[in-house]
Structure 1
């Protein structure tokens, strides 16, 4: 799946917001985060800065964190500052998948029309294959049908249904994970 420049910028902005929240945390909390040993002094230094110097350091840390796994950091921020960042990141990811699926459906429809080929609800999609790898619970036929209907009619209702479906799968997965953690 190719990521547009706008999407790349959005993702970097999300990491920047994560870094800003991490900098606001007390140093004792950051000491318990594994995998950031080389960055902890920079976080402490950034916490003491003000204004544009702080912003430059946040951007620098953002650049350094792009190579790291961010899930543990979102978990730390979620425990101490609320889960809004992780939830917003998930919504953006689901929107990205929906938009990519719709764009692929529109592209496939156009290609089939140019070649005078028949195009149906059960079309094959690279996006759906990648999505199935990440969320094995999804029903590929439902998503291919909804994206097909959107491409045919351009009715935004189908786009919203795709998003709602992906969100419901994600939420059911979260509930299952939470119940496993409680046990």
Structure 2
């Protein structure tokens, strides 16, 4: 069985993605056809069209709770457990239908739920909690980029994420979509 999986759009509008890596060239996706499993973007992703960061003139909300506690003073049920409950996962996915990294078209149901402020496994109360205010969906490749600190995110209370390149200082903002 193939160990590579390519996510493609049968209409050719969305950029192909190699799962675990990220966007790839259309010609390369075609070349991988003999050795990779091909799956299609869900209809909801294709109907939305190409995904680009959105620019908004809406009022700017403040940054999310810097402790990663989502504004809670006492941990709500499940907050001190690393893996989110099915209910919390569904809530995050309802808010964010796509990977929150700039220009990524990976549907959120195929993504990891990442703690914006890292979860502290040795002292869960001290780290980011497993709450809506500290979780964003990131595909595996973009999750790795975040943890390597190539792009540093700031989460805001309106769930927009400001991504700053560690190398160039460039800032790209993504919004829930």
TM-score scaled to structure 2, two decimals?
0.28
Please state which structure has a larger fraction of its residues in helix. 1
More relative contact order, 1 or 2 (CA 8 Å, 6+ apart): 2
Q: Normalising by structure 1, what TM-score?
A: 0.27
Higher strand share: 2
Higher radius of gyration, 1 or 2? 1
